[in-house]
Amino acid sequence: MFNLSEKLIVKLLSKLIFQKKLNAALDYRGKCLIFYRKEISKIQLKGKRGIVMVKNLVDVNEKLLDKKGGIYGFKDEAPNISYYQPTKR
């Protein structure tokens, strides 16, 4: 398919493994590549969730501010938010 020699493929894979860009090992006898599964730690998972929550909060705030000022580029999008406007008596 790619017309690469076996020697070149082994060389490229070895380089990627050495540089830790590929989490795997080469099996020379079976001529195969063994991938290792890397689990994310609990602290990394919590950090990732926190980042997503902050991103969503910033997006909502930008859209709400843009409804009044038109600064962030969401002015044309009409969110389904009803604002409370007290009536004068």
Task: Summarize pLDDT for 42-84 with one digit per residue, the tens.
Answer: 999 999 999 999 999 998 888 888 777 666 665 555 555 555 5
Q: Is residue 21 part of a domain?
A: yes
- The b-or-e profile of 63-77 (16+ CB within 10 A means b, else e) is beebbeeeeeebeee
Per-residue pLDDT of 33-44, as tens digits, reads 999 988 888 999
| Distance, CA of 70 to CA of 49 (rounded, Å) | 29
Residue 54 domain boundaries: 39-72
Q: Give the per-residue pLDDT at 24.
A: 92
Instruction: Quote the pTM value.
Output: 0.44
Q: Is residue 83 part of a domain?
A: no
Per-residue pLDDT of 5-27, as tens digits, reads 888 988 999 999 999 898 999 99
pLDDT: which is higher, 1 or 12: 12
Q: Are residues 28 and 44 in the same domain?
A: no
Q: Are residues 43 and 31 in the same domain?
A: no
| Distance, CA of 38 to CA of 43 (rounded, Å) | 15
User: In a 3-state reduction of DSSP, which class is residue 34?
Assistant: strand
Q: Is residue 49 part of a domain?
A: yes
Q: Is residue 88 part of a domain?
A: no
Enumerate the β-bridge partners of residue 62: none
